Structure 1
Amino acid sequence: MKYKVLIACGTGIATSTVIAKRVENLLKENGYEASVEQCKVVEVSGKANDYDLIVASTKVPESVKTPKVQAINYLTGVNMAKTDNEILEIMKNISKE
């Protein structure tokens, strides 16, 4: 199955690009086929239902029910493995559905 992952940041360009590369590599290395797209965080609510996972550099509205991970760690370089594990745990859970 090919999964769809939405990467969000303030502008949909700068920090989301860093996060997108990390997520693409993480998923590929762990056997998940996924398309990764970037957007502005203000666009997430309108797009969320079309994606399996949202990874953002900032807080995503609580109204969004799609599984989400805040990935500021990828930008700071602090405790990135924790964020990797969160993403992989969600992928494991949604792959069982």
Structure 2
Amino acid sequence: MKKKIIVACGGAVATSTIAAKKVADLCRQNGIDAEICQVRISEIESNLSGAALIISTARIRKDYAVPVIMGMPFISGIGVENTEEAVLKVLQG
């Protein structure tokens, strides 16, 4: 079953592109069939249908009733392993 993952940032260009690639690679390496939806923070709500996870490189202040993981470690390289574990826990759990 395909898992929809929303990857969001302020402009849906720079940081979300890097994070989306790393999340796609992580899913591929772990046999997870994933659909990556790269959006601006302001577009999350209109893309929520069927979402299993939101990964954001910017702070989210709204509760979307979908697990949210901070994606900055994919950009900074600090804490990547813990973030990858959290992503896999949501998607495989």
Query: What's the counterpart of residue 17 of structure 2?
Result: 17
Contact 1:73 1:83 in 2 (8 A): yes
Sequence identity percentage: 27
Query: Following TM superposition, by how much is the alpha carbon of 1:82 offset from its aligned partner in structure 2, in angstroms?
Result: 0.8
The answer to which structure has the higher helix fraction is 1
Q: Is there any run of 5+ residues in structure 1 with no aligned partner, and where?
A: none
**How many residues are paired up?**
93
Name the SS of the counterpart of 1:52 in structure 2. strand
Q: Is there any run of 5+ residues in structure 2 with no aligned partner, and where?
A: none
Name the SS of the counterpart of 1:78 in structure 2. coil
Deviations 1:11-66 (A, max 9, x none): 01111000000000001111100111100011113322431111110122332111
Give the Cα separation in 1 of the matches to 2:50 and 2:72.
Answer: 23
- After TM superposition, the structure 1 stretch with the greater mean CA deviation from structure 2, 22-31 or 36-45, is 36-45
Question: Aligned-residue CA RMSD in angstroms?
Answer: 1.2
Give the Cα separation in 2 of the matches to 1:61 and 1:49.
Answer: 19
